[in-house]
Amino acid sequence: MLAPHRASGLAPILGSCRRAIVGLALMSGLVNLLYLTGSFFMLQVYDRVIPSRSVPTLIGLSVLALALYAFQGGLEILRARTLVRVGGIVDEALGPRVFDAAVRAPLVGTMPGDGLLPVRDLDALRSFLSGPAPGALFDLPWIPFYVGICCVFHPLIGIAALLGGAALVALTLLTDRLTRAPTREASGLMARRNGLIEAGRRNAESLAALGMRTVFMNRWSAAGRDYRALQQVLADVGGGFGAASKVFRLALQSGVLALGAYLVIEGEASSGVIIAGSILVSRALAPIELAIANWRSFVGARQSWTRLESLFAALPPQPDLQELPPPCQTLRVQSLSLAPPSIQRVVLHDIGFALEAGDSLGIIGPSASGKSSLMRAVVGVWAPMRGSVRLDGATLDQWSSTALGRHIGYLPQDVELFDGTIAENIARFQPDAAPEAIIAAAQAAGFHEAILGLPDGYNALIGDRGARLSAGQRQRVGLARALYDDPFLVVLDEPNANLDSAGEAALAAAMLGVRRRGGIVVVATHRPNVLSSVDLILALADGHTADFGPKDEVLRRLLRTASVPPAADAAGTAKIRQVRV
């Protein structure tokens, strides 16, 4: 998991909305003052209009009250619209940070569930800021003001309002205590539930072919039952306390009516105090009742805020770096030791080699020897524990991801394509990609003619993860993407896993083309055909360098070692014997 830190980027975002927040506070103040309209209207009607039987006074008071109500309604609409826009500003400001953190998090740690929790947290934060709950927060400071006016009517009415408010605050605190842990647990279960269905969708073929669909569905259903159980608890607690607070407020309002009637009978208050006091007490407690009714959104927004703070602190924005000249000379890996993110196990130990422009390196070794891990370190996906990877003398962390990506072509073992056209995938979705560069990359990959043979050619939509293409076609498109715009360093991880003989010939030609134009090729493979296009070989075994040097010499040594009888095998050659081409 990502470790939380204190620094975050959320406070400055809200600080940029300072004017809007001040405006909301001022509007809320005017709205709360205007809420007195009903109380004072009833007070004047009972204490002035009825005793005097003055119709003009009644008409004048009614017109004034209607005007104040209209003004209050306009302010309420303006406040609601302002809250929606504040939520939109926060979403727009945090959206790029959330996306950046969500796609960087798997490279440095693990994300729960389907990895979309930061996006849901941002949605929850925006929904909270755009809803009615923040209005209750702006209204809460006005509770003492209403209680004070109740005390002016009569001290007993003020005491009733004070005690009622204290009881509702106790209900609020109890609601928070009972819903905080279930809300946090429900978020984790929702992430797990979504992660299961995403994994099932991603591996639909395996589930169908291996008869695992029912088993996986049962796992998803079990996670759903746990999630629904917690949601039911939250709904029961929130709904129960919400109903209790509402009933309590209604009962208190009736109690204040009875208290006002008693004070009138005793001659300690006018008849207008009966209705006005009841309305004021109800209004004084309304923000607390609204807060209880929206407490789930309060708790959810607070937890979303905390998680986003932790995420942003663990993955701060990458600083602006000095633009470096395009690499064109060397790739050096020096004493490289590597552990995958969130795994406390070193998979590469003190790996080192140097390549010059025009060189080509083949990396061989048994499964789990560290080939793919080394490839990820060479392209800067995983950061080294020790040692360094340098292009023209500069470590990879001296480049921004965007700048470095222009000079690297990477074909991972599992080719990931995106929903769009073939041309967009080859061009890495750059909006200003030149058609000539796209076609040149496809020709370099030996796939141009095949693309022209597809319906719609380069404009053919391939679907999410390239679902409309075969495995071999996906690999060829991935190779063209790696070769797009003639990058200096081309890194290929098992590039021929799904290729036929024609595809392997095109791959060999592409590797030779990179070398001829002064680039560097690094390729990891289990199949010997690709090695015909390399001049150096690095053999790995158990994360260590088993051998390194010119291709012919390394292969000769490996074959000689493999032919040594087991009885004559020395301990120092044990790892080399594990290496297979």
Position 560 scores a pLDDT of 80
Q: Which of 12-16, 17-21, 230-234 has the lowest mean pLDDT?
A: 12-16
CA distances for 74 relative to 17, 19, 161, 175, angstroms: 22, 19, 28, 33
Half-sphere exposure at residue 402, Cβ-oriented, CA atoms within 13 angstroms:
9
411 and 376 Cβ atoms separated by less than 8 Å: no
275-299 pLDDT, tens digit each = 888 888 888 888 877 777 777 788 7
Taking residues 234-255, report their average pLDDT.
Answer: 80
The percentage of the chain sitting over the pLDDT mark of 70, rounded to a whole number, equals 93
Position 6 scores a pLDDT of 41
Half-sphere exposure at residue 125, Cβ-oriented, CA atoms within 13 angstroms:
27
CA-wise closest residue to 180 among 43, 332, 299, 320: 299
Q: Which of 305-309, 420-424, 434-438 has the lowest mean pLDDT?
A: 305-309
237 and 179 Cβ atoms separated by less than 8 Å: yes
Q: In b/e form, how buried is each residue of 317-349, taking b as 16+ CB within 10 angstroms?
A: eeeeeeebeebeeebbbbebbbbeeeeeebbbb
Position 96 scores a pLDDT of 87
What residues have CB less than 8 Å from 293, skipping those under 6 apart? Answer: 238, 242, 245, 246
Tokens of 365: 């070794």
317-374 pLDDT, tens digit each = 777 778 888 899 999 999 999 988 877 789 999 999 999 999 999 999 898 889 999 9
What residues have CB less than 8 Å from 306, skipping those under 6 apart? Answer: 4
Task: Supply φ then ψ for residue 522, to 5 degrees.
Answer: -125, 120
- In the predicted model, is pLDDT for residue 469 greater than 70? yes
What angle do the packed helices 155-202 and 117-130 form, to 10 degrees?
A: 150
Position 480 scores a pLDDT of 94
Region of 222 on the Ramachandran plot (φ > 0 left; ψ -120 to 50 alpha; else beta) = alpha
Q: Taking the alpha carbons of 29, 33, 34, 39 in that order, is the dihedral positive or negative?
A: positive
CA-wise closest residue to 484 among 418, 435, 533: 435
Q: Which of 104-108, 452-456, 504-508 has the lowest mean pLDDT?
A: 104-108
Position 320 scores a pLDDT of 75
- In the predicted model, is pLDDT for residue 567 greater than 70? no
Residue matched to tokens 């010939």: 505
Most confident of 5-9, 131-135, 197-201: 131-135
Position 574 scores a pLDDT of 37
Residue matched to tokens 């994360």: 543
The residue with greater pLDDT, 195 or 458, is 458
520-548 pLDDT, tens digit each = 999 998 887 888 889 999 999 999 999 99
Banded pLDDT at 573 (limits 50, 70, 90): very low
Q: Which of 86-100, 105-119, 237-251 has the lowest mean pLDDT?
A: 105-119
- In the predicted model, is pLDDT for residue 113 greater than 70? no
Most confident of 177-186, 228-237, 408-417: 408-417
What residues have CB less than 8 Å from 545, skipping those under 6 apart? Answer: 350, 351, 352, 538, 539
Q: Residue 421 and residue 307: Cα distance in Å, rounded?
A: 36
For Cα atoms 216, 222, 223, give the angle at the middle one, nearest 5 degrees: 95
Banded pLDDT at 180 (limits 50, 70, 90): confident
CA-wise closest residue to 106 among 121, 117, 95, 120: 117
Banded pLDDT at 575 (limits 50, 70, 90): very low
The residue with greater pLDDT, 220 or 436, is 436
What angle do the packed helices 55-108 and 36-44 form, to 10 degrees?
A: 160
Q: Which of 312-321, 440-449, 465-474, 518-527 has the lowest mean pLDDT?
A: 312-321
Position 107 scores a pLDDT of 78
537 beta partners? 362, 549
Position 112 scores a pLDDT of 53
Banded pLDDT at 110 (limits 50, 70, 90): low
Taking residues 366-383, report their average pLDDT.
Answer: 90
Q: Residue 490 and residue 411: Cα distance in Å, rounded?
A: 8
Taking residues 303-329, report their average pLDDT.
Answer: 83
Q: How far is CA 24 from the centre of its chain?
A: 29
Per DSSP, helices labelled H in 131-271 are: 133-139, 143-153, 155-202, 204-209, 213-265
Q: Residue 555 and residue 325: Cα distance in Å, rounded?
A: 37
Task: Supply φ then ψ for residue 513, to 5 degrees.
Answer: -65, -40
The percentage of the chain sitting over the pLDDT mark of 90, rounded to a whole number, equals 27
Q: Residue 157 and residue 387: Cα distance in Å, rounded?
A: 75
pTM of the model: 0.73
398-415 pLDDT, tens digit each = 988 888 889 999 999 888
Q: Which of 57-61, 264-268, 428-432, 562-566 has the lowest mean pLDDT?
A: 562-566
- In the predicted model, is pLDDT for residue 80 greater than 80? yes
Q: Residue 441 and residue 446: Cα distance in Å, rounded?
A: 9
250-261 pLDDT, tens digit each = 788 788 888 888
Taking residues 43-72, report their average pLDDT.
Answer: 89
- In the predicted model, is pLDDT for residue 311 greater than 80? yes
Q: What's the first-to-final CA gap in the chain, in angstroms?
A: 37
119-158 pLDDT, tens digit each = 888 888 888 888 888 888 888 888 888 888 888 888 888 8
30-48 pLDDT, tens digit each = 998 898 888 888 888 888 8
Report the mean per-residue pLDDT for the chain.
84
